[in-house]
């Protein structure tokens, strides 16, 4: 439960002062390292907030940052208890120097994905200097969760979700056509009456799948950390829930356009639909969780109920 592994090089500072002495030693010995990390983290977060957190693809960023830091704070005693041999200064320096070079190039070339990934890697190295790699491995989830701060390149998202966009738009068109609406789809366009929507715009909510995954994993970890079967089942439902939520969103946007015109369907309602989608998907996750606890035998048994 102490920081001795991280301060093995300064035993004289760990005397009768207890944890306060350890904390003072930590600050005294490592403040240049922490200051250097802060000098990179702060401007990168500002850039991330300006360029990504204001978009649907990165709107989950502030939530992940706050909840991720909260998770680290909650497991701080476990991290201290599991701390191992700290990363040597030589190894730390050998790894940080090339990362700093890559960071400088990424900022100069405005490669935000690379920049944030490098900052994340440097933060892990600094943490390993304090508590060793074992402290990270044995408390891996908060660190993996914070990796959702790294914004995936747009072309990667397009490649991964292109098939889902096609499936959702085709399904929505078929459903509304079956209900008698004058709707059709040609390539990347959906037409309803005299209006036309781009499939990319109508299905842009699928970009939020990264944020939905992150927040859903947080939900699963907090509530079902001790039950891996329950957690695995909920994790398996993340993608189907995201697809269902986006399917409903596309139908709603098409109907809003049909009844109220482009100004509503592709204006403020489009942005509002993104917020509602996120809340709806989380509600579906909570509903799925309730169904599992209510009807799945192993989940009922873990709560003390009799297996079905």
Can you give the three-state secondary structure of 21-80, one letter per residue? HHHHHHHHHHHHHHHHHHHHHHHHHHHHHHHCCCCCCCCCHHHHHHHHHHHHHHCHHHHH
Continuous segment of H or E residues that includes residue 229: helix 228-236
Domain ranges across the chain: 4-149, 154-302
- Max Cα-Cα span within the chain: 81
Q: Cβ atoms within 10 A of the Cβ of 30, count?
A: 16
- At 270, is the pLDDT very low, low, confident or very high (cuts 50, 70, 90)? low
pTM: 0.75
Q: How many CA atoms lie within 13 A of 305 on its CB side?
A: 12
Catalytic residues: 203, 249
* pLDDT score for 8: 42
Can you give the three-state secondary structure of 102-150, one letter per residue? HHHHHHHHCCHHHHHHHHHHHHHHHHHHHHHHHHHHCCHHHHHHHHHHC
Direct distance between the N- and C-terminal alpha carbons of the chain, in angstroms, rounded to an integer: 42
Q: What is the DSSP letter of 307?
A: P
pLDDT digits (tens, 9 = 90+) for 99-124: 999 999 999 998 999 999 999 999 99
* pLDDT score for 6: 41
Q: How far apart are the C-alpha atoms of 299 and 134, rounded to whole Å?
A: 31
pLDDT digits (tens, 9 = 90+) for 198-248: 666 556 566 677 888 888 889 888 887 767 788 888 888 888 888 888 888
pLDDT digits (tens, 9 = 90+) for 37-94: 888 899 999 999 998 888 777 878 899 999 999 999 998 888 888 888 888 888 888 9
Cα 257 to Cα 149, 175, 267, 283: the distances in Å are 34, 16, 10, 26
């Amino acid at each position: 439960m102490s920081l001795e592994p991280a301060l093995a090089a300064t035993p004289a500072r760990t005397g009768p002062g207890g944890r306060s002495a350890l904390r003072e030693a930590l600050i005294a010995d490592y403040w240049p390292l922490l200051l250097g990390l802060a000098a990179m983290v702060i401007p990168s977060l500002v850039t991330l907030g300006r360029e990504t957190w204001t978009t649907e693809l990165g709107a989950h960023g502030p939530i992940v940052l706050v909840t991720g830091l909260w998770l680290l704070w909650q497991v701080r005693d476990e991290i201290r208890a599991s701390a191992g041999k700290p990363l040597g200064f030589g190894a730390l320096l050998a790894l940080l120097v090339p990362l700093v070079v890559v960071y400088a190039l990424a900022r100069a070339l405005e490669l935000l994905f690379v920049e944030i990934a490098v900052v994340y890697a440097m933060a892990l190295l600094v943490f390993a200097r304090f508590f060793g790699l074992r402290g990270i491995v044995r408390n891996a989830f908060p660190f993996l969760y914070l990796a959702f701060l790294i914004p995936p390149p747009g072309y990667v998202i397009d490649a991964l979700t292109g098939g889902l966009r096609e499936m959702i738009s085709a399904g929505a068109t078929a459903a509304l056509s079956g209900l008698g609406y004058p709707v059709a789809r040609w390539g990347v366009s959906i037409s309803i009456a005299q209006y036309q929507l781009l499939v990319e715009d109508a299905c842009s909510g699928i970009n939020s799948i990264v944020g939905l995954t992150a927040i859903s994993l947080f939900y699963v970890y907090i509530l079902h950390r001790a039950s891996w079967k329950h957690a695995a089942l909920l994790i398996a439902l993340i993608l189907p829930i995201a697809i269902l939520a986006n399917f409903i969103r596309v139908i709603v946007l098409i109907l809003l356009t049909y009844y109220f015109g482009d100004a509503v369907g592709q204006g403020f309602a489009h942005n509002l639909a993104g917020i509602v989608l996120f809340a709806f998907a989380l509600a579906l996750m909570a509903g799925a969780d309730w169904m599992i606890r209510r009807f799945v035998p192993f989940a009922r048994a873990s709560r003390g109920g009799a297996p079905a």
